[in-house]
Chains A and B, each alone.
Chain A
């Protein structure tokens, strides 16, 4: 069955870089768009960006200058890297699957990983 699972550091210091891995099973990354969505106390659910089935990416302009999404299809993994972290980046980070077009809903979500930005 379809499964997504995020793994990440939990605690990150301000100004440092956040790296999260989403490992998927039950489907192919080359057939779906993979999204990153975060949920913060200040802004609720926010779409961060996606990587298309073909490997190209699109980012929310809110994060564009400090966000990178990539993947390794051989390992069924999608990666999020965001630099210059601030305390307001504290929240839960989710990967989610979407069908193979940009206006599709997010039909499966990972359990999320809680990230705290603090010194």
Chain B
């Protein structure tokens, strides 16, 4: 299985940029498709799709969220961070079955 590694937590100030990383144990890219997706989960709620295929904003997601990366290294950026963005963020790969998730990065206020 492809293992996705995320830092457990990131402290950020409101109005600043947050950069959340995800590293895969092997490439999750096929030709021009980078099969990495990002989700936001708030306590007591279900995950919510933010970014699909590394850099595509999901429907209804604010433009302060963006994604980048290819191969094994991917980044979710939130700029500027707002209070409503305090949550845990998960990456997920769909390059190979089984789809796997990272352990999550909890975004905290500095």
| Residues of A that sit less than 8 Å from B by CB | 44-47, 58, 60-62, 94, 102-112
Contact = CB atoms under 8 A, between A and B. Distances in A.
B101 A105 contact: no
A37 to B, nearest CB: 8
B81 to A, nearest CB: 23
20 contacts: A44-B101, A45-B47, A45-B92, A45-B104, A46-B101, A47-B98, A47-B101, A60-B98, A61-B98, A62-B98, A94-B46, A102-B94, A103-B35, A105-B52, A105-B53, A106-B49, A107-B49, A108-B49, A109-B47, A111-B46
The winner among B37, B59, B97 for most chain A CB atoms within 10 A is B97
Given A44-B104, A47-B100, A105 B94 contact: yes
Interface of B: 33, 35, 37, 39, 45-49, 52-53, 58-59, 90, 92, 94-95, 97-101, 103-104
B97 A102 contact: yes
Contacts of B37: 105-106
Nearest to A59: B98
Nearest to A99: B52
Contact of A107 (B35, B58, B94, B97): B58
